[in-house]
């Protein structure tokens, strides 16, 4: 599953860490996950299709295959539910994921250093929707790291359908497992910080992987400063387990400064809407989405009575 990565890696600025990345990834893949045969079966079914070229036609990452009847393709891709990130258009099939990722990309892309010819890391890449957008922006190589195996298989499923795929790859790794070398020009951490028990350690690890003057693009949940410096949810937050920190933007600024980032800029704050996070056919049997996570009488609060999700985007450099 990961061997396709090596050929491109050895020709890139990541050549010194290719073998180590592959060794760590292979260890992650030796797991006893009862779903693997179902997911591999889905990928084998997708191999039967003629491949198509890929481009970005917002909101869709569009793969131009000719597939006539959408049912068999739909059935194969359904074996890989839930599809949280996307959306994808594959021939005449629209795979509308829970999140409409183009809305986030619209908020981010005008504010970042050009990715052309860059070495890019996408931490917590999920199924690689953004990893592909980064590669299509001209990056020399884009590595997504995503510990959750299903999302690695979703990435492979999409890649299986693409003719001459761009230089986007995903490995089943955690940030903590990355070789500690400063090789990346741009590092993205989007939707990952609030899942970390030690937020400063996460920011330090991101900084370690950047070349001098390289750029961090950080997207995470924040609170308005009227709620205090930060909230550490006692239980769930918007029904999510493992949300460990909800800082104000001022607090997040001080964290970035503390770990040594410079040129820190807050470029966007946006409330999550039901247009961006929605219930779709592609999320499977658990059909809950943002509307179910908010207070039924006040959409400024979560169902637990905490401030409703707002997301900030910071850019900064090493
Ligand atoms: C909320 S999703 C965000 C996905 C995507 N980056 C986005 O912005 O839509 C967070 C992802 O980060 C992954 N993740 C969580 N902890 C991680 C870690 N320590 N290293 C790498 N990925 C991690 C999760 O498995 C999940 O797919």
Among residues of the chain, what percentage have pLDDT more than 70?
A: 99
Residue 159: is its pLDDT beyond 80? Answer: yes
What is the pLDDT at residue 3? 67
- Mean per-residue pLDDT of the chain: 94
What is the pLDDT at residue 183? 98
Q: Is the CB of 151 under 6 A from ligand 1?
A: yes
Q: Is the CB of 276 under 6 A from ligand 1?
A: no
Calculate mean pLDDT across residues 269-289.
Answer: 87
Q: Is the CB of 98 under 6 A from ligand 1?
A: no
Residue 87: is its pLDDT beyond 80? Answer: yes
Residue 289: is its pLDDT beyond 80? Answer: no
What is the pLDDT at residue 68? 76
Fold of 4-317: Rossmann fold (3.40.50)
Question: What secondary structure does DSSP assign to the chain, as a single string?
Answer: --THHHHHHHTSTTGGGHHHHHHHHHHHH----TTHHHHHHHHHHHTTSPPB-EEEETTEEEE----SS-HHHHHHHHTT----S--EEETTEEE--SB-HHHHHHHHGGGS---TT-EEEEET-TTSHHHHHHHHTT-SEEEEE---HHHHHHHHHHHHTBSS--SEEEES--GGGS-----EEEEEEES-GGG-S-HHHHHHHHHHTEEEEEEEEEEEEEB-GGG-SEE--SS-BTTBS----EEBHHHHHHHHHHTT-EEEEEEEEEE--TTTB---GGG-S----HHHHB-SS-TTBBTTSSBPPEEEEEEEE-
Residue 5: is its pLDDT beyond 70? Answer: yes
What is the pLDDT at residue 240? 86
Cα 66 to middle of ligand 1, angstroms: 32
Residue 96: is its pLDDT beyond 70? Answer: yes
What is the pLDDT at residue 302? 93
Calculate mean pLDDT across residues 156-169.
Answer: 96
What is the pLDDT at residue 261? 98
pTM, 2 dp: 0.96
Q: Is the CB of 149 under 6 A from ligand 1?
A: no
Determine the atom of ligand 1 nearest the C-alpha atom of 122: 6
Calculate mean pLDDT across residues 91-105.
Answer: 96
Residue 271: is its pLDDT beyond 70? Answer: yes
Break the chain into its structural domains and give their ranges. 4-317
pLDDT in tens, 205-259: 999 999 999 999 999 999 999 999 999 999 898 888 889 999 999 999 999 999 9
Q: Is the CB of 147 under 6 A from ligand 1?
A: yes
Per-residue confidence band for 267, with pLDDT thresholds at 50, 70 and 90: very high
Calculate mean pLDDT across residues 77-83.
Answer: 96
If you take atom 23 of ligand 1, which residue's CA is the nearest one? 124
Residue 193: is its pLDDT beyond 90? Answer: yes
Cα 87 to middle of ligand 1, angstroms: 17
């Amino acid at each position: 599953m990961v061997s396709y990565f090596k050929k491109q890696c050895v020709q890139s600025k990541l050549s010194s860490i290719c073998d180590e990345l592959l060794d760590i990834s292979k260890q992650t893949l030796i797991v006893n996950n009862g779903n693997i045969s179902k997911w591999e079966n889905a990928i084998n079914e997708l191999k039967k299709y003629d491949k198509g070229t890929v481009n970005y036609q917002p909101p869709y990452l569009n793969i131009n295959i000719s597939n006539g009847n959408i049912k068999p393709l739909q059935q194969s891709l359904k074996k890989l539910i839930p599809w949280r990130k996307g959306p994808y258009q594959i021939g005449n099939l629209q795979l509308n994921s829970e999140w409409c990722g183009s809305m986030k990309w619209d908020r981010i892309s005008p504010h970042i250093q050009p990715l052309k010819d860059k070495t890019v890391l996408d931490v917590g890449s999920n199924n690689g929707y953004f990893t592909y957008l980064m590669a299509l922006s001209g990056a020399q190589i884009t590595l997504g790291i995503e510990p959750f195996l299903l999302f690695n298989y979703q990435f492979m499923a999409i890649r299986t359908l693409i003719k001459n795929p761009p230089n986007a790859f995903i490995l089943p790794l955690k940030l903590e497992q990355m070789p500690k070398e400063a090789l990346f020009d741009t590092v993205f951490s989007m939707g990952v910080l609030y899942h970390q028990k030690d937020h400063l350690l996460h920011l330090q690890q991101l900084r370690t992987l950047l070349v001098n003057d390289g750029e961090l693009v950080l997207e995470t949940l924040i609170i308005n400063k009227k709620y205090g410096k930060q909230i550490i949810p006692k239980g769930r937050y918007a029904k999510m387990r493992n949300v460990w920190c909800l800082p104000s933007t001022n607090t997040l600024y001080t964290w970035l400064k503390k770990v040594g980032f410079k040129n820190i800029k807050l470029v966007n704050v946006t409330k999550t809407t039901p247009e961006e996070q929605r219930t779709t056919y592609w999320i499977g049997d658990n059909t809950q989405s943002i509307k179910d996570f908010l207070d039924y009488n006040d959409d400024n609060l979560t169902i637990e009575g905490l401030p409703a999700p707002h997301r900030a985007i910071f850019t900064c450099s090493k």
